[in-house]
């Protein structure tokens, strides 16, 4: 098994299991076969299988519990919130956002969008405009850009209610896209008139500008998100380990 593929066996096994999850072979929340069974099926030792499973767990694709079993991670609101939503109030506590869709449209990608999403310019994208409310006050104005090819049935149903909660949960449930990683560029900017109208702040208020590109378990670029966060009463938390 090792000759044609130079990668270590445990990496190959990880890739096989990753593929089974991504392809929907094993569904969200479903239990994987027990370790001895899986190891036998794949023709590797228990140790090698466990090493592959440990890597999948580190990427949050599976969850393992002693005595219970191994399960494909359910992309619940809480899980996505804890992993990707980093806004805290001034006491350092996570906040629970309410979300309102302010606009949805479809059109050709501009240069910036095409570059970030790795599309050819002009390819179709969906755009979602949202505002997010913390503790009664609108604090985030953002635009989400999605490759239309990955979200074929997004425009027609057009269900703002579904998009209002954590959108990564919707991606997973409705489109089978499992979000695992993001890259962000942060900067500061002054609120435009449009920002001021949405956020209820004076024009020129300093805002935290978050430009996020998100990847799924198959390595595809899934989303470009540009958020403007009013930091008068909130902070953006980052850990470096």
* Contacts to DNA by CB under 7 A: 2, 8-10, 32, 34-37, 43-48, 50-51, 53, 64-70
Whole-angstrom distance, CA of residue 103 vs CA of residue 130? 7
- Give whichever of 156 and 238 is closer to a second copy, judged by the CB atom: 238
C-beta of 6: minimal distance to a second copy in Å? Answer: 14
175-192 burial, b if ≥16 CB within 10 A, otherwise e? bbbbbbeeeeeeeeeebe
C-beta of 69: minimal distance to a second copy in Å? Answer: 21
Distances in whole angstroms, Cα of residue 77 to Cα of each of 96, 171, 188, 196:
10, 12, 28, 29
- Give whichever of 68 and 240 is closer to DNA, judged by the CB atom: 68
Q: Is 80 in the site for a second copy (CB under 8 A)?
A: no
The interface partner of residue 36, options being DNA, a second copy, none and the CB cut-off 5 to 8 Å by kind, is DNA
Q: Could you please report the per-residue DSSP string of 6-54?
A: -S-HHHHHHHHHHHHHHTTSS-TTPBPPPHHHHHHHHT--HHHHHHHHH
Among 19, 98, 135, 183, the residue binding a second copy under the rule CB under 8 A is 183
**Residues in contact with a second copy by the rule CB under 8 A:** 59, 83-84, 86, 88, 92, 180-190, 204, 206-209, 211, 229, 231, 234-241
């Amino acid at each position: 098994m090792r000759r044609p593929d130079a990668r270590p066996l445990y990496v190959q096994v990880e890739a096989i299991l990753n593929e089974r999850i991504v392809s929907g072979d094993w569904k969200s929340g479903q239990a994987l076969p027990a370790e001895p069974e899986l190891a036998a099926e794949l023709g590797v030792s228990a140790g090698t299988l466990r090493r592959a499973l440990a890597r999948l767990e580190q990427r949050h694709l599976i969850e393992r519990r002693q005595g219970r079993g191994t399960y494909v991670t359910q992309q619940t609101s809480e899980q996505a919130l804890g992993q990707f939503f980093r806004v805290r109030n001034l006491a350092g506590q996570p906040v629970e956002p309410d979300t309102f869709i302010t606009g949805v449209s479809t059109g050709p990608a501009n240069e910036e969008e095409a570059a970030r999403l790795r599309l050819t310019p002009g390819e179709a994208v969906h755009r979602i405009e949202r505002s997010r409310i913390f503790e009664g006050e609108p604090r985030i104005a953002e635009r989400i850009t999605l490759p239309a090819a990955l979200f074929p049935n997004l425009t027609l149903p057009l269900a703002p209610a579904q998009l209002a909660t954590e959108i990564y949960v919707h991606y997973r449930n409705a489109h089978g896209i499992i979000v695992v990683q993001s890259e962000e560029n942060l900067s500061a900017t002054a609120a435009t008139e449009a920002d001021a109208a949405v956020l209820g702040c004076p024009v020129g208020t300093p805002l935290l500008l978050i430009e996020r590109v998100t990847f799924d378990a198959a390595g595809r670029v899934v989303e470009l998100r540009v958020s403007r966060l009013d930091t008068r009463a909130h902070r953006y938390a980052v850990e470096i380990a």
